[in-house]
A and B are shown apart, each in its own frame.
Chain A
Amino acid sequence: MSDQREPITGIDVPISLKYNFTAGAGPARFLSQVRKGVLTGQRCPRCEQVYIPPRGSCAACGVPTEEEVVLADKATVQSFTIVSIPIPTNPIEPPYIIANLVADGANISFIHLMSDCVNEEVRIGQRVQAVWKPEEEWDYAMDNIRYFTPIDEPDVPADKIGKLPVSGWGA
């Protein structure tokens, strides 16, 4: 054997798996509303906290959530990270910001992209608003919101984030 190459010990075999996602009542309602460009949450009948996306129950109280609450597409930055690590198959070019955002009127954060911002100026308590895709591209997905971008409103004090009544700080 004159072949000096390394022996092959493994190969990458990409596979794809197509599956149906069964949303359940809470998320199904959320997705059908976000399809129309509306963010909806659900309020827990016991602790009164508002969940988005709603899962149909409050994980803290262990009770079903049924009361629907329409939420603004404005939110407050609860925390964030600037991602610089290049990730294969990820369409977003680093560095980009992933933020934990609390929508006005909600009491729990969700994760979304922040853009159209100066990365170094992003901060906890900052006010942001959704930038939606064109309406004709809307689907049953949170990706209907392309990203959130900073808006000119006063920051929310850190200990008040997620603890506010509906519609923006200072409004």
Chain B
Amino acid sequence: MANLAAVVGIGQTKYTTKRGDVSIAGLVREAAQNALDDAGLNWNDIDAVILGKAPDMFEGVIMPEIYLTDALGCNGKPMLRVHTAGSVGGSTAIVAASHIQSGTFRRVLTVAFEKQSESNAMWALSSPQPFSTHLNAGAGGYFAPIIREYIRRSNAPRDVGIKVAVKDRLHGARNPLAHLQRPDITMKEVEESFMLWDPIRFLESCPSSDGACAMVIACEELAEQGPKAPAWIRGVAMRSEPTMYAGREEVSPQAGKDCAADVYKQAGISDPRKDLDCAEVYVPFSWYEPMWLENLGFAPEGEGWKLTMDGATSLDEGGDIPWNPSGGVLSSNPIGASGMIRFAEAARQVRGDAGDHQVEGARLALGHAYGGGAQFFAMWVVGAEKA
């Protein structure tokens, strides 16, 4: 039986296109300092640091964890780096939690970041290989055909993606840290925005952001001594599958289903829509909301879009299961940090500390991240109570 662990401090930076005033080291330190302040702790209270970011090719800084040891106050302390592409923020939080659950450490700092203004992610994701023609279309080019197949199978109306794009930006307008601040966004504006990778429009895509997110995770005894309510970690799960195998279900990957089943079992969840109060789910392109609603068991196969269109996932429409109250990846996307932001925002909700995007009375929340060709999944469930 694993020991109890809880999030006792959360720190983020304001997400924006370019943080020209800080280096990568300055960026991660800012998030880490905010997390320590939130927990009422200082650097000496931390036993180890667990760091995550998306592939090193993005900023071209190889093994940045080594360069960041000073900035993160871990000279002479253990540091571990986690790599799972876009899901890395989630996996990093889980690796950090496991160091508490196993009893190895009593209090750890975990940080994830991306400085997209100093990187070229599309280039980094498009290295040529001779057995494949070099088409260089980035993540949107990869996911657009999968979205098209989802639309075909589900017969979803064409404006589902537009609705998600509006809904998440309206959520983001409640969150002062969100990159995009668009309280005035309309369905018409999204519909008329440039079609980048048909069927994905410009405003149905995530922005490119600079930012970092950090959390302090502590054991039960220390978590109870903190100045603010802890978010108890009720379940953690990671799954992966090969990107390319014959018969692979790309629209609703098996690894995602298995990961969700595992984390729900740990947290005692039988009906995620009913049992959870809200979810922070990795939705970088708007259509991934209905797709993940199905993959994660919130709706039967082919019917995820109905929840979206009924307003079930919208704070503003009083939905019963708000998704991405923080604005989600569609409002802020520092890639390596995006998964950790989902996990941290789920924790903020159950701590009752989410400000204007607080889901009233949230007691149990899901944090979700996926990465690569939708082959890496990381999820946790956090609660206001220990069990």
> Which chain A residue has the least Cβ–Cβ distance from B197?
A81
Task: Establish whether residues A87 and B148, one from each chain, have CB atoms under 8 Å apart when the complex forms.
Answer: no
Task: Establish whether residues A79 and B146, one from each chain, have CB atoms under 8 Å apart when the complex forms.
Answer: yes
> Which chain B residue has the least Cβ–Cβ distance from A108?
B246
Contacts A81-B144, A108-B245 hold; do A89 and B136 have CB atoms under 8 A apart?
A: yes
Of residues 121 through 138 on chain A, the ones whose CB sits less than 8 Å from some CB of chain B are: 124
For residue B196, give the distance in angstroms from its CB to the closest CB of chain A. 5
Bound: A145/B197 CA distance, A: 23
Task: Establish whether residues A107 and B247, one from each chain, have CB atoms under 8 Å apart when the complex forms.
Answer: yes
Interface residue from B130, B131, B136, B198 paired with A81 (Cβ < 8 Å): B198
Contacts A31-B130, A141-B130, A142-B133 hold; do A82 and B244 have CB atoms under 8 A apart?
A: no
Task: Establish whether residues B242 and A110, one from each chain, have CB atoms under 8 Å apart when the complex forms.
Answer: no
Interface residue from A30, A59, A90, A100 paired with B131 (Cβ < 8 Å): A30
Contacts A90-B136, A145-B133 hold; do A100 and B246 have CB atoms under 8 A apart?
A: no
Task: Establish whether residues B148 and A80, one from each chain, have CB atoms under 8 Å apart when the complex forms.
Answer: yes
Interface residue from A9, A44, A107, A124 paired with B148 (Cβ < 8 Å): A124
Q: Which residues of A contact B248 (CB under 8 A)?
A: 60, 108
Bound: A17/B136 CA distance, A: 17
Q: Which residues of B contact A92 (CB under 8 A)?
A: 135
Task: Establish whether residues A10 and B118, one from each chain, have CB atoms under 8 Å apart when the complex forms.
Answer: yes
Query: Counting CB contacts under 8 A, is B66 at the interface?
Result: no
How many B residues are at the interface, by size bracket? 35 or more
Query: Counting CB contacts under 8 A, is A58 at the interface?
Result: yes
Contacts A79-B145, A83-B141 hold; do A60 and B133 have CB atoms under 8 A apart?
A: no
Contacts A59-B245, A111-B133, A113-B133 hold; do A81 and B145 have CB atoms under 8 A apart?
A: yes
For residue A159, give the distance in angstroms from its CB to the closest CB of chain B. 9
**Proximity string of chain A (19-31) to chain B, C-beta cutoff 8 Å, 1 when within and 0 when not:** 0010100010011
Of residues 122 through 162 on chain B, the ones whose CB sits less than 8 Å from some CB of chain A are: 122-123, 129-138, 140-141, 144-146, 148-149, 152-153
Query: Counting CB contacts under 8 A, is B20 at the interface?
Result: yes
Query: Counting CB contacts under 8 A, is A47 at the interface?
Result: yes
Q: Which residues of A contact B198 (CB under 8 A)?
A: 81-84
Task: Establish whether residues A79 and B149, one from each chain, have CB atoms under 8 Å apart when the complex forms.
Answer: yes
> Which chain A residue has the least Cβ–Cβ distance from B134?
A143
Q: Which residues of A contact B118 (CB under 8 A)?
A: 10
For residue B120, give the distance in angstroms from its CB to the closest CB of chain A. 9
> Which chain A residue has the least Cβ–Cβ distance from B21?
A9
For residue A114, give the distance in angstroms from its CB to the closest CB of chain B. 11
Bound: A31/B133 CA distance, A: 12
Give the 3 A-B residue pairs with the shortest CB-CB distance, closest first: A49-B246, A81-B144, A79-B145
Instruction: Taking A81-B137, A89-B136, A142-B132 as given, write out 4 further A-B residue pairs in contact, using a Cβ cutoff of 8 Å, ordered by the A residue number.
Output: A81-B199, A82-B197, A85-B196, A98-B135
